[in-house]
């Protein structure tokens, strides 16, 4: 019901109450008049009550029209029909206005918002090819004195990543800068990332998990052989399309840019739970750090929880550096011993005892997959 209707309903209720009160007074008047009581006192009282009732009704309607004195917030929050339950836009979290074009790509819609910028869907008008345009607001994220060096590093890294050619690594079409926005035009992928499959009640079948992670390990082995370290391997950077069983690793090289500003590691990456001990310690890292992160991802996709959890960053860093994760088979008894062994090796604190190359980890995963399939047949 609208405000006017609500006000009218309230008026009717109050007028009826006033009429009843007046009828009572008239009846009392007649009765008392017969007994000889002065009618002037009764009439004055009736007029006073009527005026008070009309004044009360008028003020309530005025308040309702101006949005005051309405349903309490607590009641409105639990009322499915209440307008108060509708979410209101927060101007501080609004996306920036979408540019019409970046490079040769006409932007069609917003695909998402990342830590440093917005991802758009773009189309090359010459070829009709779709691309995911990842923007990085470098001028907003870094100080002027470090901006020149960071831009040079970003474009150098992006060009290196653009030369990677692997079936499980997203293709980078172009890199550029316009209006203070550095951007990467990448292959547009259907499907989504693997994050939804890291929750206990949405886990993928173990054979599929092993197959997916083996392909990621292959992609990392290829990148590492070209001196490219990902630095931010996690489910959110692994794109999977279930119908075609297609897997792509995304965001190569972006973490290198972020990693160069240590004051922004926690703010921008926001995923210390996947980092290796040496990466958290700020040491120089190589491909074995990526394999540790992949081990964390495999653990999470196998049992639905992270291997290292803490209430503070300091405690988390200590656990990653010193403590063994909970036994994976205690969390998921269906995990075969061979898969538990792969996870244990990938999560070794000492990089020298970890998998040294991604193809080694992929080989062990596929061997475990075959062994598990053989066990099922028998």
> 228 CB contacts (<8 Å, ≥6 apart)?
160, 161, 164, 252, 253
Mapped onto helix, strand or coil, the DSSP state of residue 81 is coil
3-class DSSP state for residue 126? coil
Q: Give yes or no for a contact between 216 and 209, defined as CB atoms under 8 angstroms apart.
A: no
Is the sign of the CA dihedral 104, 105, 106, 112 positive or negative? negative
CA dist., res. 194 & res. 269, Å (int): 17
User: What pairing do the DSSP bridges indicate for beta strands 130-136 and 118-123?
Assistant: antiparallel
* Integer angstrom CA distances of residue 369 from 49, 218, 337: 87, 15, 11
Q: Is 218 a residue of the active site?
A: no
Q: Do residues 80 and 38 touch, judged by C-beta distance below 8 A?
A: no
Helices and strands of the chain, counted as H and E runs: 13, 9
Q: In what order do the strands lie in the sheet with 101-102?
A: 101-102, 105-113, 118-123, 130-136, 181-187, 172-178
Distance CA 138, CA 140 (A): 5
Cα angle for residues 13, 16, 21 (degrees, 5° grid)? 125
3-class DSSP state of 71:
coil
275-to-238, 260, 285, 292, 317 alpha-carbon distances in Å = 16, 16, 11, 7, 9
SS3 355: coil
Q: Please give the Cα distance from 63 to 60 (Å, whole number).
A: 5
β partners of residue 172:
186
Of 232, 259, 290, 364, catalytic? 232
Q: How many whole angstroms from its chain centre is CA 345?
A: 30
Task: Let me know how long the chain is.
Answer: 378
**Cα–Cα dist 344/317, whole Å:** 18
- Mapped onto helix, strand or coil, the DSSP state of residue 109 is strand
Q: Which residues are catalytically annotated?
A: 232
């Amino acid at each position: 019901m609208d405000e006017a209707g609500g006000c009218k309903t309230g008026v009717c209720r109050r007028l009826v109450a006033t009429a009843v009160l007046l009828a009572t007074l008239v009846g009392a008047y007649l009765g008392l008049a017969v007994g000889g009581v002065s009618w002037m006192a009764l009439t004055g009282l009736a007029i006073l009550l009527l005026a008070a009732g009309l004044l009360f009704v008028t003020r309530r309607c005025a308040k309702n029209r101006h949005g005051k004195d309405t349903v309490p917030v607590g009641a409105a929050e639990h009322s499915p029909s209440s307008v108060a339950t509708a979410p209101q836009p927060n101007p501080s979290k609004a996306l920036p206005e979408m540019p019409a074009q970046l490079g040769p790509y006409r932007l069609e819609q917003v695909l998402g918002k990342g830590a440093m910028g917005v991802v758009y869907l773009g189309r090359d008008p010459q070829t009709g090819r779709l691309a995911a345009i990842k923007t990085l607001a470098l001028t907003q994220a870094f100080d002027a004195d470090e901006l020149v060096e960071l831009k040079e590093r970003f474009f150098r890294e992006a060009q290196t990543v653009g030369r990677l050619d692997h079936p499980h690594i997203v293709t980078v079409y172009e890199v550029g800068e316009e209006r203070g926005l550095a951007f990467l035009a990448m292959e547009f992928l259907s499907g989504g990332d693997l994050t939804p499959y890291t929750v206990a009640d949405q886990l993928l079948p173990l054979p599929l998990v092993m197959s997916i992670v083996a392909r990621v390990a292959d992609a990392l082995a290829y990148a590492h052989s070209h001196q490219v370290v990902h630095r931010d391997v996690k489910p959110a950077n692994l794109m999977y399309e279930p119908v075609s069983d297609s897997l792509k690793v995304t965001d190569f090289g972006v973490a290198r840019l972020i990693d160069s500003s240590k004051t922004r590691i926690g703010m921008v990456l926001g995923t210390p739970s996947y980092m290796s001990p040496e990466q958290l310690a700020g040491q120089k890292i190589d491909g074995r750090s990526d394999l540790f992160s992949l081990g964390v991802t495999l653990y999470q996709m196998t049992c639905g929880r992270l291997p290292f959890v803490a209430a503070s960053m300091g405690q988390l860093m200590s656990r990653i550096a010193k403590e063994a994760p909970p036994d994976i088979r205690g969390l998921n008894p269906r995990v075969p011993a061979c898969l538990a062994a792969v996870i244990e090796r990938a999560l070794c604190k000492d990089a020298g005892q970890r998998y040294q190359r991604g193809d080694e980890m992929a080989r062990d995963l596929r061997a475990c997959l075959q062994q598990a399939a053989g066990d099922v047949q028998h």
